[in-house]
Amino acid sequence: MKTFCGRANPTTGALDWIEESEEYDYHQEIARSCYADMLHDRDRNEKYYQGIRAAVGRVKARGERVVVLDIGTGTGLLSMMAITAGADYCYAIEVFKPMAEAADCIVKKNGFSDKIKVINKHSTKVTVGPDGDMQERANILVTELFDTELIGEGALPSYEHAHLHLVQDACEAVPHRATVYAQLVESEQLWSWTQMGPVQVEGRTLLPPAQLGQCAGAPSVCDIQLSQVSPGAFTRLGPLCTMFSVDFSRRVSSAPQSHSCRFVVHTSGRAQVILSWWDLDMDPSGTIVCSMAPSWTYSDPRSYPWRDHWMQSVYFLPAERNVCEGEELTLTVSHDDYSLWYNLSDGQQTGEEETSCQPCICQAHLVWTRTRFGELNDRQRRATYLRALRGILQPDSVCLAVSDGSLLPIFAHLLGAQKVFSLENSGMSKRVIEQFLDANSLQNKVRLLDVRPEQLSTAHLDGQQISVLMGEPYFSTSLLPWHCLFFWYCRTALNRLLCPGASVMPASATLHLLGVEFKDLWRIRAPCGTCEGFDVSVMDEMVQNSLDFRESREAEPHPLWEYPCRALTKPHPVMTFDFQQCVPEQPIISEGSVPLTRRGRCHGVVLWMEYNLTDDITVSMGLTQPVSEEGECVWCPHRKQGVYFFRDMWESSGDGQAAVSYSLTFDPSIGDIKMDFSASPSRVAVMETVH
């Protein structure tokens, strides 16, 4: 069955009506899921297998029939492990219908259909009894309900219900317990993701609004690959604290709770950020441990088990404070059903800690992402924009800024422009910039307009035309690099208001391409094949069908500063967009090839934009330094890059004989880029599997 869905186009700004099958969301969920990453996580799989075997052994030693309940079975892998370990029967629960169907198929394919029952329900809807989903209560509870924050997928309510209704009182649990750790640090880099610092412009200091500094920030966790944050980027102010543990073999409460740890400050500094992760003990003795600790905690970082489905967490204190060596402090973590939050105090736990996470009160944390905060705090980036503005502004300039929540219009005023206007896409974004203007007594110097570009007239501009049109460009709706071409569509809509010879900044944008070998990221799209001896190739078929669901595959947005890779080609410009001109009616087509000049396995290509602010000033949203001799890449941490994964990886001998051939078509009517890649003159396809 086909339906028409209305979706806001991030590039053109229009509302597109797209004909889609009712199965489209299912296909996209499967294609973009982390199932491949989990199946390729050998450390996770081995630790679960060891824990399950040990639990089955303990139940059998008591002379009991082994009945397993697997909540969140996914592919059914853990259920098959349980039967292989000697369990008599297993109930595998999966709420997501396509995955439940896949699990059922995988279970049958591996010959376990007589001992594993797949139940397509949420675990809290499962019943036990002669007419129920389960004939009896289980005596082993196996779960994989965790996210980076441990409890964010509703683990606590699910465990609470399972112990009350689905498992025996003295059940075994795999994992047996989870322990959450936290460490207080000072970090200018991480703190810049949640607070704005003072901004120096032409001898004047712009101060952030007081309300922003008093705000607890975004309520959601900041989950990142903490292994990619250098230990030199933060200072440990205290020891690693054990905050709390959850015993999954006993009744678990989902009620809000707080836990505190008293510690002595090791190093004086500014208390700003909490780094946090957790461990899973797969057995009661704690001898089988699956740890989420970052690589720099390992004596040998090479032994670090990379995974992307579970990462580490960064929490920001409501306000920074100075702490002194030898000072005693109390770190408190609180949680509800789904979230954690931290507070730092001088005294012991009072029992009056916040029982709910405090919402953002300044709205800036709702408008700007954490990487956007980092971008606005980037002094080098700011200096580049100021240098470009100085080159195009005149004392009689009438400026119009088109970006979301940008400080460029304030900069333009301070640099001497006669009049400055700014188009804001949302009322919330407009209010955030108003706070900046109020905090610096600039209310009457920059006029904020909340109209769409096509609705703007000279009446909004005091009867004048625009002599300088500027943007960063940054838009909150952008995911892929070319989505920021929304600036180009705005420029086209405003063409009638530009005076002859008007300056447009950026003047143009160039899309670049680079063939790469990923250190680890390739795993999220690699074929599964077999996992721990079980055939899970059904997942490969499902993902392949999902990727074929539309006529062409798509690039994915990824923050590549978190995912190391090696360049196998030279960076190559593939398409230019001239903002001096209006968006053309005809497609822009680019075809060519890029030689593979380094030895390695080419997993795909990276695509990013470089904005030519003026003829001689460029800012890159991709590579920020030249590629090293070894092919190491340094990526812009403020924007996500586009990654197009090849279905098969390509072997490169590095002699330049083989190349990545590309065919790209930018369709102005939809603001998207259709892309196709092939190996030229030949390639070796190797199916990559971990197991």
What distance in Å separates the CA atoms of residue 504 and residue 498, rounded to the nearest whole number? 9
CA distances in angstroms from 470 to 362, 402, 429, 675, listed in the order given: 26, 6, 17, 29
Q: How far from the centroid of its chain's Cα atoms is residue 344's Cα? A: 27
Could you tell me which of 658, 576, 565 has the C-alpha nearest to residue 604? Answer: 565
Burial 367-397 (b: 16+ CB within 10 A, else e): bbbbbbbbbbbbeebbeebbebbeebbeeeb
Same topology, domains 35-174 and 178-360? Answer is: no
β-pairing, 312-323 vs 269-281, is antiparallel
Q: What pLDDT does 118 receive?
A: 98
CATH architecture of the region 508-526+547-686 = Distorted Sandwich (2.70)
Beta strands in 149-254 (DSSP E): 167-174, 177-186, 199-201, 204-206, 222-224, 235-236, 241-247
Please say whether the beta carbons of 648 and 685 come within 8 A: yes
Q: What pLDDT does 17 receive?
A: 57
Domain ranges of the chain: 2-31, 35-174, 178-360, 378-505, 508-526+547-686
Collapsing DSSP states into helix, strand and coil, what is residue 394? coil
Burial of 467 (C-beta count, 10 Å sphere; 0-12/13-18/19+): buried
Burial of 319 (C-beta count, 10 Å sphere; 0-12/13-18/19+): middle
| Cis-peptide, bond into residue 219, ω within 30° of zero | no
Q: Which residues are catalytic?
A: 144, 153
H-helix or E-strand spanning residue 22: none
Collapsing DSSP states into helix, strand and coil, what is residue 350? coil
Please say whether the beta carbons of 37 and 524 come within 8 A: yes
pLDDT along the chain (691 residues), means of 10: 63 68 53 74 97 98 98 96 98 94 96 98 97 97 96 94 96 98 98 95 93 87 96 98 97 95 98 98 98 96 94 94 97 94 82 65 93 96 98 97 96 97 90 95 94 94 97 93 97 97 98 98 91 89 60 81 98 98 97 96 97 97 97 98 92 91 96 91 48 41
Q: What pLDDT does 15 receive?
A: 67
DSSP for 574-595 reads EEEEETTSPPPSSPEEEEEEEE
Domain 178-360: top CATH class: mainly beta
Tokens found for residue 610 = 């470089």
Q: What pLDDT does 594 receive?
A: 96
Please say whether the beta carbons of 650 and 658 come within 8 A: yes
CA distances in angstroms from 507 to 453, 482, 689, listed in the order given: 18, 15, 45
Tokens found for residue 125 = 């809807």
Tokens found for residue 234 = 């933060």
H-helix or E-strand spanning residue 66: none
In this prediction the pTM is: 0.93
Q: How far from the centroid of its chain's Cα atoms is residue 464's Cα? A: 43
CB proximity list for 424: less than 8 A, separation 6 or greater? 404, 405, 430, 433, 448, 449, 450
Please say whether the beta carbons of 505 and 487 come within 8 A: no
CB proximity list for 688: less than 8 A, separation 6 or greater? 522, 526, 527, 601, 649
Q: What pLDDT does 685 receive?
A: 46
Tokens found for residue 130 = 């002669």
Q: What pLDDT does 230 receive?
A: 96
Q: What pLDDT does 155 receive?
A: 95
Q: What pLDDT does 140 receive?
A: 98
Please say whether the beta carbons of 555 and 675 come within 8 A: yes
Q: What pLDDT does 347 receive?
A: 76
Q: What pLDDT does 688 receive?
A: 46
CATH (residue range 378-505): 3.40.50.150
CATH architecture of the region 35-174 = 3-Layer(aba) Sandwich (3.40)
What distance in Å separates the CA atoms of residue 644 and residue 674, rounded to the nearest whole number? 11
- HEC string of 83-104 equals HHCCCCEEEEECCCHHHHHHHH
Q: What pLDDT does 427 receive?
A: 87
User: Alpha helices of 241-343 — where are they, by DSSP H?
Assistant: none
Please say whether the beta carbons of 139 and 168 come within 8 A: yes
Q: What pLDDT does 548 receive?
A: 52
